């Protein structure tokens, strides 16, 4: 199958995981986002007097130009499946591409419902299938907004981006921290981490941890000075006895991309409880959950004192994650498309 992927495929993005999975399954994939298409445009009115584009044009003009370039590229590619996260795509672009190529249109929406862009909402009726990654709860609302066929494919473990450590690396592993968190700063995350002022915490993430956290806070003193992606994420996570997953409140009852990442690489995970997570991961068997600051403190103390229990749970979770990889998700997606 030839797949045109209209989305950013930068390392660490969901669509990069799907791209690698589809290619490993033997499919041809062409990747181009609207922003990349706009940057690649040779339109004279974008190059006028060599003035930077962003200094002369507003976002709508750039989006329109990016859609024009992307549509031409997709029609020349002529793929069987047009796959996208919907970012900046205009409904007319989708209609034009499908009319010209007779391809199937599939949307994988990986974000919270609160972040649905107007263009994505307007385009929902045009897609042959709409896939939501955060939880089955979102399907009803996407249908109300016009989606015709909706499916739930949860986030998964990218075992290429986050390979599991084995052999000597695993044997030489040193736990420098009681609790590790990897991710960006947010006020609610800083508040959760402040509950852990009695243990040693390690935080990896962008510089906002230094510039926006309160002086003297757990967040400020625990930030390690760098972000961690790919192999660095694996190394950072393995430095903690407990890996913390602070699911964004806007995810509601859903999952986030972190849900399988630390589990897949063999870490013990303590996560904010959500209904979607409980559907996949059993407490005490694959993961531990908390709901309140008091419960977070208690669960950290409980599991720090029980290394054998942490090891048992993390081993169970790692085995489970092997059936929740993006290769598996890509197969499930293609099955949905083939059934149309």
What are the tokens at 99?
């009319």
Backbone angles phi, psi at 222, to 5 degrees: -95, -15
pLDDT at 62: 82
Contact 162, 140 (CB under 8 A): no
pLDDT at 44: 61
Instruction: Using the predicted structure, report yes or no on whether residue 61 has a pLDDT greater than 90.
Output: no
Q: Tell me the whole-structure pTM to 2 decimals.
A: 0.92
Mapped onto helix, strand or coil, the DSSP state of residue 12 is coil
Mapped onto helix, strand or coil, the DSSP state of residue 49 is helix
pLDDT at 339: 96
Mean pLDDT of 92-114: 97
- CA 281 from chain centre, in angstroms, equals 18
Band (pLDDT 50/70/90 cuts) for residue 51 is: very low
Q: Cα-Cα-Cα-Cα dihedral of 38, 44, 46, 49, to 10°?
A: 150
Contact 133, 140 (CB under 8 A): no
Q: For residue range 217-262, what is the model confidence (pLDDT) as tens digits?
A: 999 999 999 999 999 999 999 999 999 999 999 999 999 999 999 9
**Residue keyed to tokens 């903690």:** 240
Mean pLDDT of 35-39: 87
**Residue keyed to tokens 């926006």:** 212
Band (pLDDT 50/70/90 cuts) for residue 108 is: very high
Buried b (16+ CB within 10 A) or exposed e, 11-50: eebbbbbbbbbbeeeebebbbbbbebbbeebeeeebeeee
Mean pLDDT of 31-49: 75
pLDDT at 228: 96
Handedness of CA 248, 185, 11, 178 (dihedral sign): negative
Short-list 297, 309, 319, CA closest to 178: 297
Q: What is the mean pLDDT of the chain?
A: 93
Q: For residue range 254-286, what is the model confidence (pLDDT) as tens digits?
A: 999 999 999 999 999 999 999 999 999 999 999
Rounded Cα distance between 25 and 78, Å, is 20
pLDDT at 313: 98
Mean pLDDT of 65-94: 95
**Cα–Cα distances in angstroms (integers) from residue 315 to residues 93, 142, 262, in the given order:** 47, 36, 12
Band (pLDDT 50/70/90 cuts) for residue 52 is: low
Mean pLDDT of 313-331: 98
pLDDT at 277: 98
Band (pLDDT 50/70/90 cuts) for residue 49 is: very low
Q: For residue range 123-143, what is the model confidence (pLDDT) as tens digits?
A: 999 999 999 999 999 999 999
Spell out the domains of the chain, with CATH numbers in brackets: 2-156+325-338 (3.40.50.2000), 167-321 (3.40.50.2000)
Find all residues with CB under 8 Å of 107, minimum gap 6, and list them. 84, 85, 86, 120, 123, 124, 127, 129, 130, 131, 147
Q: Cα-Cα-Cα-Cα dihedral of 150, 257, 116, 84, to 10°?
A: -60
Given the DSSP bridges, would you call strands 240-245 and 201-204 parallel, antiparallel or unpaired?
unpaired
């Amino acid at each position: 199958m030839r797949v045109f992927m209209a989305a950013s495929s930068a390392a660490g993005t969901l669509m990069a995981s799907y791209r690698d999975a589809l290619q490993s399954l033997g499919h041809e994939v062409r990747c181009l986002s609207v922003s990349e298409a706009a940057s690649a445009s040779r339109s004279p009115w974008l190059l006028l007097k060599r003035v930077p584009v962003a200094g002369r044009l507003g976002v709508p003009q750039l989006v329109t130009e990016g859609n024009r370039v992307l549509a031409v590229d997709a029609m020349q590619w002529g793929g069987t499946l047009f796959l996208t996260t919907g970012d900046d795509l205009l409904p007319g672009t989708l209609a034009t591409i499908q009319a010209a190529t007779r391809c199937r249109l599939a949307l994988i929406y990986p974000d919270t419902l609160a972040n649905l862009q107007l263009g994505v909402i307007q385009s929902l009726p045009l897609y042959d299938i709409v896939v939501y990654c955060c939880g089955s709860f979102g399907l009803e609302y996407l249908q109300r907004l016009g989606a015709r066929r909706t499916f739930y494919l949860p986030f998964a473990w990218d075992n290429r981006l986050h390979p599991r450590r084995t052999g000597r690396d695993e044997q030489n592993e040193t736990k420098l921290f009681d609790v590790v968190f990897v991710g960006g700063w947010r006020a609610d995350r800083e508040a959760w981490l402040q509950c852990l002022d009695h243990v040693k915490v390690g935080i990896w993430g962008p510089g906002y941890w230094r510039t926006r956290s309160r002086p003297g806070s757990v967040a400020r003193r625990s930030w390690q000075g760098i972000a961690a992606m790919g192999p660095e994420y694996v190394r950072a996570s393995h430095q903690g006895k407990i890996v913390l997953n602070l699911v964004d409140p806007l995810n509601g009852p859903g999952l986030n991309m972190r849900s399988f990442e630390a589990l897949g690489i063999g870490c013990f995970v303590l996560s904010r409880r959500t209904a979607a997570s409980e559907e996949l991961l059993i407490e005490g068997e694959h993961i531990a959950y908390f709901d309140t600051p008091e419960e977070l403190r208690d669960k950290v103390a409980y599991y720090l004192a029980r290394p054998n229990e942490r090891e048992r749970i993390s081993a169970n979770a790692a085995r489970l994650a092997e059936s929740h990889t993006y290769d598996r998700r890509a197969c499930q997606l293609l099955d949905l498309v083939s059934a149309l």
